[in-house]
Amino acid sequence: MFDDPRWLPLFRLALRTLDLPRRYLPEVPWLSEFVALPDSQLEIGQEFEPPGERELIHKVIEVLEERHRREYPAGVRPMLRDFHTKAHGCVLAKLKIEPDLPSEYRYGVFANPVEYDAVLRFSNGQRPIQADQMPTPHGVAIKLFEVPDPARPNHRVTQDFLLADFPVNLIGTVADAFEFYQAEAAGKPQAYFISPLPLRHHLRAGLIGYLSAETPVHDLFDISYFSQTPYKLGAGNACKYILRPTITPTPNRGQLPAGDNYLREQMQRRLLASSVSFDFLVQRQLHPVRQPIEDASVEWREDEAPPRKVATVVLERYDFERPFTSPWRQWCCERISYNPGTTLPDSAPLGGLNRLRHAVYDQISIMRHRANGVIRREPNNPDDFVSKTGW
Ligand code: HEM
């Protein structure tokens, strides 16, 4: 019933309406005497780890590992990722930092106007590998190579950014994640969104889940991606990231193309014609309630926390010598691991969902590398990433 895109505007409006209290209640100071607004005790850039969170994280990891083991019994190999399983391709790129950035943005890899080599993995968010027409969020994971390590002179490290094509996540906190995966493990994932006994609902999560999966996507280079979770921007400041096509795409293209892998085919067509670029933007946190750190399901509205371009990502044109569509490159794309915790300290992940993800991604990545008999390490540079002998 709800798979008609005509529902989308109505659901978007419903989500915006549910978010109104967070926007307007901070404007009414006397209310704070009666209503404790979430996150109002926190400073800008400050995170808060609730008691018992570590135990919940361990329990979520156990549930996910167990499910993954069941889905990949001995003999079913290679063991793939637990989420974002279908890779459309890993494309090599350059990330060029803007010159003359204001000082409040010049932290971590944005500190100097330099150029980094990068590899971007484009993926469908859901777990089973399905035709691209099926509802799913989409993701892009960016790995920068040869980033100078501020702690060790002459050492180079990698830096990851993980983004998806919706501003918020349907799971906002570690407690939400625990409840969600428990419902899923009990075979009743829909009970997380609404259940009569005991009576409970996660209406916002239901709307976010619907909107983030159902919005039709024709071309992965025509959409924007959001980090959803916050990261440090130097000490005492926080930000989120947005990746936005440099050229505004033409909207409204009607029916989705045919072919199970039309998204990869479209990537290939675009890169055969020319290189493709995205603006990389940083959205600074300006208010602890309106732009919370501890709830990834709350949008940091762009009219309240305006994003600023800090870099350009240029995807390389289709390379006939080492095409991103070749089986070898697809295998490299399976091997590579991304993690929100792979960052310079000035861009460290913040908030409960990132604390959870840091641990989960590591565990699942270790598990799949072990199952596939593959050494798990970071590639050092683009040649290393594509080489048959390298990493
Ligand atoms: C409850 C919350 C979440 C959980 C439990 C979770 C879990 C995972 C796991 C286990 C993987 C596979 C990691 C690997 O094997 O290398 C993954 C991949 C990924 N996740 Fe999440 N995730 C969550 C939220 C998010 C959020 C908030 C974003 C960002 C907007 C995100 C973006 C991605 C992307 C882009 C990938 C693919 C990385 C790649 O290409 O290798 N996830 N996630």
What's the average model confidence in pLDDT over 80-103? Answer: 98
Residues facing 277 on adjacent strands = 314
SS3 158: strand
Measured in Å, residue 129 CA sits from the centre of ligand 1 at 15
Burial class (CB in 10 A: 0-12, 13-18, 19+), 6: exposed
Strands 225-226 and 238-245: antiparallel
173 lines ligand 1 (CB under 6 A): no
What's the average model confidence in pLDDT over 220-241? Answer: 98
Pocket test for ligand 1, best of 162, 173, 355 (most atoms within 8 A of CB): 162
pLDDT category of residue 390 using cuts at 50, 70 and 90:
low
The DSSP symbol for 349 reads B
Pocket test for ligand 1, best of 62, 83, 119, 329 (most atoms within 8 A of CB): 83
What totals of helices (H) and strands (E) does the chain contain, helices first?
Answer: 10, 11
The DSSP symbol for 123 reads E
Round to whole Å and give the CA distance between 209 and 215: 11
81 lines ligand 1 (CB under 6 A): yes
Measured in Å, residue 83 CA sits from the centre of ligand 1 at 6
296 lines ligand 1 (CB under 6 A): yes
Q: Which residue has the tokens 């602890």?
A: 288
Look up residue 61 and give its amino acid: I
From the CA of 169, give the closest atom in ligand 1: 27
The closest of 338, 328, 323, 341 to 376, measured between CA atoms, is 338
Structural contact between residues 279 and 312, judged by C-beta atoms closer than 8 angstroms: yes
| pLDDT, position 213 | 95
What's the average model confidence in pLDDT over 334-356? Answer: 98
**What are the angstrom distances between the C-alpha of 305 and each of 278, 290, 291?**
20, 9, 8
Round to whole Å and give the CA distance between 256 and 133: 7
| pLDDT, position 391 | 67
What's the average model confidence in pLDDT over 221-225? Answer: 98
Pocket test for ligand 1, best of 61, 79, 84 (most atoms within 8 A of CB): 84
Measured in Å, residue 196 CA sits from the centre of ligand 1 at 30
What's the average model confidence in pLDDT over 107-127? Answer: 97
Structural contact between residues 265 and 89, judged by C-beta atoms closer than 8 angstroms: no
Cα torsion 54, 58, 63, 67 to 10°: value is 130
Residue 314 tokens, joined: 């240029």
What's the average model confidence in pLDDT over 329-339? Answer: 96
Backbone angles phi, psi at 18, to 5 degrees: -65, -25
pLDDT category of residue 250 using cuts at 50, 70 and 90:
confident
Q: Which residue has the tokens 């033409």?
A: 250
Measured in Å, residue 33 CA sits from the centre of ligand 1 at 39
Backbone angles phi, psi at 88, to 5 degrees: -80, -25
HSE toward the beta carbon, residue 345, CA cutoff 13 A: 6
170 lines ligand 1 (CB under 6 A): no
Using only C-alpha atoms, the chain has a radius of gyration, in whole angstroms, of 21
Span between the terminal Cα atoms of the chain, in Å: 48
pLDDT tens-digit map of 284-321: 999 999 999 999 999 999 999 999 999 999 999 999 99
What's the average model confidence in pLDDT over 334-354? Answer: 98
Give this prediction's pTM.
Answer: 0.96
Structural contact between residues 177 and 356, judged by C-beta atoms closer than 8 angstroms: yes
**Full set of structural domains in the chain with CATH:** 5-250+258-386 (2.40.180.10)
Helix 174-185 to helix 53-71 angle, to the nearest 10 degrees? Answer: 30
pLDDT category of residue 168 using cuts at 50, 70 and 90:
very high
pLDDT category of residue 1 using cuts at 50, 70 and 90:
low
Length of the chain in terms of residues written: 391
Region of residue 108 (phi > 0: left; psi between -120 and 50: alpha; otherwise: beta): left
Measured in Å, residue 135 CA sits from the centre of ligand 1 at 17
Instruction: Name the most confidently modeled range: 31-45, 47-61, 252-266.
Output: 47-61
The three-point CA angle 294-297-298 to 5° equals: 80
Residue 215: alpha-carbon gap to chain centroid: 17
What's the average model confidence in pLDDT over 226-230? Answer: 98
Round to whole Å and give the CA distance between 85 and 185: 19
Query: To the nearest whole number, what is the mean pLDDT of the chain?
Result: 94
337 lines ligand 1 (CB under 6 A): yes
pLDDT category of residue 200 using cuts at 50, 70 and 90:
confident
Round to whole Å and give the CA distance between 200 and 187: 17
SS3 content of the chain, % helix, strand, coil (to 5): 35, 20, 45
Q: Is the pLDDT reported for residue 235 higher than 80? A: yes
Q: Which residue has the tokens 């096509």?
A: 245
| pLDDT, position 249 | 84
Backbone angles phi, psi at 275, to 5 degrees: -75, 165
Weakest mean pLDDT among 1-10, 183-192, 371-380: 1-10
Burial class (CB in 10 A: 0-12, 13-18, 19+), 1: exposed
